[in-house]
Structure 1
Amino acid sequence: MPRRSAGVLLYRRTPGLQVLLGHMGGPFWSRRDEGAWSIPKGEYGDGEEPLAAARREFEEELGSPVPSTALVPLGELRAGAKVLTVWAAEGDLDADAVVSGTFPLEWPPRSGRVQHFPEVDRAAWFGLDEARSKLVTGQVPYLDRLRALLET
C-alpha cells in the first residue's frame, strides 16, 4: 500500500495568480532551487482524515494555519512513491515570516550524529510559470488543476 500525503496549495491574485511554495529543508536540498520546492504537505496514517492532515501539515511546515476556511479539492495523484491529495485555498501569508517545524536526520550519513533540520527552510510566492520550474516534478499537475478550477 503506498504512503499517503495531503497538502494545501495556497494561492492569491495580486495582480496575477501566484502560489505559495516551500523550499524543502535539509542537506539534500540546500544547494538546489529548480525542482526543490513543494506544496506544503505531509504524510498521514490510517484513520486520519486527509483534510485534517493537510491543515496540520500546512501549519507545521509554515508556522501558520491555513488562512482560508474554504478549501477546494484538487484531487489526488501519485507523486513518486506516495499518493498525494491536495486542496486549494485562496489567502495571503507573509512568506518571510514562515517558521517551520523540524525533523531529525543522521548527518553526516553513518556519523551517529543526529541533527535537526527545518521541514521548509524558506517559502515564497511564485507565478504559475515560475512555480512550474521550482516545484518537484510530481506536484506540477496541481498547478494545471488550480488554473482549470479558477477558469471555470
Structure 2
Amino acid sequence: MADKRSAGLLLFRRTATGTEVLIAHMGGPIWQRRDAGAWSVPKGEYGPQEEPRDAARREFTEELGLPAPEGEYVPLGDVRQSGGKVVTVWAVEGDLDPGLVEPGTFTMEWPRGSGDMRAFPEIDRAGWFGLEPARAKLVAAQTAFLDRLTAHLEGVR
C-alpha cells in the first residue's frame, strides 16, 4: 500500500519584528487540550490523480474556508511525519485575518468504540506566529519547513 500523501501551503508575512507564519491548531477531541505539537501547516490528503500544488491550494480553502492566496509559490519540499504520511508544502507570502477562518469539518466515531459518529472542525483556530514560537507548536516533522523558508528568505535578500 502506498504512503498517504498530503499537500499544504505555509502562508508567511514579513513584519517589523520578523517573519511570521500562519499555522492551524488541529480540530477534534484528540487535540483539544494540546498545544505543543498540535498545530500544522494547513494541508490535506490527495490522490494520485491530483497535482500536489493543486491539492495544497484546495486544502487551504477547505481547511480555512478562505481562498488560497495568489503569489509566488516557493517549494519547501517533503517531510515524512512520524505516522508515515509524506507532507509536501509550498510557501507563499500573503496576509489574512485568522478571525475570518471558517474551517471545514470531518466526521469520526466519538467517543471511540461508542458507535456515535460526530462532526468536528478540521481546525479549531489559526494564528500568526514568529518562527520560533511556531517551531514549538508545530508537529515535529513540519518544523523543517520553517528552516527551509528561512533559507529561502535569506537567499532572497
1:110 aligns with 2:110: no
Deviations 1:12-43 (A, max 9, x none): 01121000000000000000011100000000
Flag as ranges the 4+ runs of structure 1 deviating above 2 A.
none
> Residue type of the partner of 2:54?
A
1:8 equivalent in alignment to 2:9: yes
* 1:33-56 Cα distance to aligned partner (Å, 9 max, x none): 111000000000011100000000
Secondary structure at the aligned position of 1:60 is classed as helix
1:39 matched residue in structure 2? 41
Q: Distance in 1 between matches of 2:71 and 2:150?
A: 20
Specify the SS of the correspondent of 2:127. Answer: strand
Sequence identity of aligned pairs in percent? 62
- Consecutive unaligned residues of structure 1, counting only runs of 5 or more, are none
Task: Spell out, residue by residue over 1:103-122, the C-alpha distance to the aligned partner (whole angstroms, 9 max, x if none).
Answer: 00110111111110000100
Deviations 1:75-111 (A, max 9, x none): 1121221111100000001011111000001101111
Partners of 2:70 and 2:94 in 1: CA distance:
6
Q: Which runs of 5+ in 2 are unaligned?
A: none
Counterpart CA distance in 1 for 2:20 and 2:11 is 8
Contact 1:7–1:55 (8 Å) recurs in 2: yes
Counterpart residue number, 1:94: 97
Name the counterpart of 2:138.
135
C-alpha RMSD over aligned residues:
0.8
Which secondary structure does the structure 2 equivalent of 1:146 belong to?
Answer: helix
TM-score by length of 1: 0.97
Number of corresponding residues: 152
2:19 aligned residue: 17
Match of 2:74 in 1: 72
Cα distance in 2 for residues equivalent to 1:44 and 1:89: 20
Q: Structure 2: which amino acid aligns with 1:134? A: K
1:71 maps to a residue whose letter is Y
Q: Which amino acid aligns with 1:56?
A: R
TM-score (norm 2): 0.94
